[in-house]
Amino acid sequence: MSTISATYQEDAAVQKKRWIILIVLNLFTFMSTLDGSIVNIALPVLVKELQLPMAQVEWVTTGYLMAICAAILFFGKLGDIAGKIRIFKTGTVIFIIGSLLCGLSASLPFLIASRVIQAIGASMTMANSQGIVTDIFPATERGKALGLIGTFVSLGSIAGPSLGGIIVSALGWEYIFWVNVPIGLIAIVLGWKVLPKDLVRVKSRIDLPGSLLFAIFIVTLFAGLLLGQQLGYGDSRILSALIAAAAAFLAFIIVELRRTQPLLQLSLFKNPLFSLSILCAFLVFVANFCFNIIAPFYAQNMLNLSPFYAGFLLMLFPISMVVVAPLSGALSDKIGSEFLTFAGLIVMVIAQFGLARLHDGSAVALVGVWIAMLGVGSGLFQSPNNSLIMSKVPRTQLGSAGSVNSLVRNVGMVVGITIATTLLFNVMSSKAGYRVTGLIPDRPDIFLSGMHVVFMTSSAICLVSALLTGWRMITIKKAKRAKNAAV
């Protein structure tokens, strides 16, 4: 049951400001996704300055993503009940406070705690931005607006290492967090002026059992996976955490199936094309974050580039993506999304395979070619795939679909980091003959062995996604032919 006094489409004042509203939403979409990856380039610096092993410093990135994954469905549901715009505004303030605290951190525990505060604010904005767009924009412009949010999501998640490298070199690691403060304050002031009051609120209860079970599942799963790198997966505490994660997930599914107003609309997954598109999006973010976590260490420690020049090299990914993504989105309106997503994934497979063949003497220009190709492939894939996801969902479930899309994206990031670092450390440990959780001085060959396995794995992940997308493309073509033949 919802209370609706009017619609935003009937409000001329809101319609005049709708593109400014989209700018505000995209600013926080960009910053909150950027902060999932911007720390990666600073990890080698944090390892040196805080004198900690690489496996511990990883928690600065994964703690942020874990907190978002655990909270995003809850804040999506809360937005429906308390008002999406109210929750979004609150989230912007919490995000800025968290960013300020991150830059003031003098120890790893304080930094991780500050990142969790930052993540809570980010999840409040992420969970509701697509729903706000759906409410405000008329149907004729809704797809274009949602596509732009998808582009900023992808851009933010990929641009982190390159922008972070430039900021770390010029100002210091603290400023990768502090840069959010002035931009965020401008966006907050602008947002409070242009964002309207909430018109739509659902009379519903928060699914507390589902929210709690899902948070337990996320925390125990990723804590088990990440701590397993340091303690070994045979450790009884790690096995207990992974068993607890499996039990919490099973209990969550049972609870959600029985509730009339669940946290997660499982009915969305009854549509096979929606499920397939979501799965492909997940696999691509896994593959991209294998690249994101490994590439900064390769550029700085193997090619001996400073964070500044490493940042410029990695910037080729988002630049090529920014050029290609809007063109791909516009082209998908004319020729459909299926072929473009397939072509993008094939380009990504080739690029990841090229990255797997690099070594410490590789020409920087060659490295740049493979990185740019990866950006081109991602740009070809992301916008059309986002359009496919949202087009397969009933209007009444667009908000839930947006939350699921954001959740899958962030889970993909954490899984990508986990797969990359687990493979890297296992291969390095095997080569070194003892347990390794960081770089070994004067032994680039050991790191490169691990890196090659990681990139071959991410190439295989892209290939699986490409095969699934190819099957989807053939299935849709057959369905269209059958329909035309019947007519």
What's the rounded mean pLDDT across residues 32-41?
A: 75
Provide CB contacts within 8 A for 218, sequence distance 6+: 66, 69, 70, 411
3 state DSSP class of 2: strand
Could you tell me which residue, 422 or 204, shows the higher pLDDT?
422
Return the top range by mean pLDDT from 162-166, 353-357, 432-436: 353-357
* CA dist., res. 364 & res. 195, Å (int): 46
Q: What are the contacts of 434-437 at 24+ separation with CB within 8 A? A: 435/232, 437/53, 437/54, 437/55, 437/229, 437/230
- What pLDDT score does 394 carry? 67
Name residue 230's beta-bridge partners.
none
* CA dist., res. 390 & res. 387, Å (int): 5
- What pLDDT score does 52 carry? 72
CATH of domain 8-207+261-486: 1.20.1250.20
* CA dist., res. 482 & res. 487, Å (int): 9
Provide CB contacts within 8 A for 303, sequence distance 6+: 310, 313, 360, 362, 364, 367
DSSP code of 278? H
* CA dist., res. 160 & res. 176, Å (int): 9
* CA dist., res. 418 & res. 438, Å (int): 14
* CA dist., res. 358 & res. 355, Å (int): 5
- What pLDDT score does 1 carry? 44
What's the rounded mean pLDDT across residues 466-486?
A: 83
What's the rounded mean pLDDT across residues 414-429?
A: 87
Among 280, 285, 236, which residue's Cα sits nearest to residue 68?
A: 285
Could you tell me which residue, 19 or 150, shows the higher pLDDT?
19
Q: 83: alpha, beta or left, given left = phi > 0 and alpha = psi -120 to 50?
A: left
* CA dist., res. 193 & res. 20, Å (int): 10
* CA dist., res. 323 & res. 365, Å (int): 20
What type of residue is 255?
V
Helices vs. strands in the chain: H and E counts, helices first: 19, 2
Contact 421, 55 (CB under 8 A): yes
Contact 188, 93 (CB under 8 A): yes
Q: Cα Rg for the chain, rounded, in angstroms?
A: 22
List, for residues 48-61, the tens digit of each pLDDT value. Answer: 777 777 667 778 87
Within 336-363, where are the H helices?
338-355
- What pLDDT score does 386 carry? 75
- What pLDDT score does 346 carry? 96
- What pLDDT score does 161 carry? 67
Work out the mean pLDDT of the chain and round it to a whole number: 83
Vertex 294 angle, CA 288 and 300, to 5°: 130
pLDDT band at 449 (very low <50, low <70, confident <90, very high): very high
List, for residues 334-345, the tens digit of each pLDDT value. Answer: 777 788 889 999
What's the rounded mean pLDDT across residues 481-485?
A: 78
